């Protein structure tokens, strides 16, 4: 078949995308999770450097930030992997 004309391509852009609500929600939540992971790493570093001499129960605030921050980072990463896995399966089934 020949290539689509310019008018056909423009009209295809005007057609609404056929996506499910879950996929639309995931497309809006995913960038927030990615940004939150970056901010979390920066906060762990910043808190560790600012409160290096403050101790709570024998550990510095920097250590406590890592104790809380690393599992949060892993949970966010697993959430992203889990959400992307369902997205990619749907794309493979429609292709």
pLDDT digits (tens, 9 = 90+) for 9-28: 787 777 776 777 888 888 88
Tell me which residue has tokens 């992971």.
37
Stated length of the chain = 95
Instruction: Dig out the tokens for 37 from the structure.
Output: 């992971």
Residues 6+ apart with CB under 8 A from 67: 59
pLDDT tens figures, 41-76: 999 999 989 988 899 999 999 999 999 999 999 999
Q: Distance (Å, rounded) from C-alpha 88 to C-alpha 94?
A: 10
Instruction: Dig out the tokens for 39 from the structure.
Output: 């901010």
Buried b / exposed e over 55-83, threshold 16 CB at 10 Å, is eeeeebbbebbbeebeeebeeeeeebeeb
pTM above 0.75, yes or no: no
């Amino acid at each position: 078949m020949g290539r689509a004309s310019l008018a056909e391509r423009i009209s295809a852009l005007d057609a609404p995308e056929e996506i499910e609500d879950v996929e639309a929600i995931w497309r809006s939540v995913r960038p927030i999770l990615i940004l939150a992971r970056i901010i979390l790493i920066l906060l762990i570093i910043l808190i560790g450097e600012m409160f290096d001499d403050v101790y709570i129960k024998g550990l510095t605030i920097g250590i406590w930030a890592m104790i809380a921050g690393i599992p949060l980072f892993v949970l966010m990463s697993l959430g992203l992997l889990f959400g992307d896995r369902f997205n990619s399966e749907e794309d493979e089934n429609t292709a």
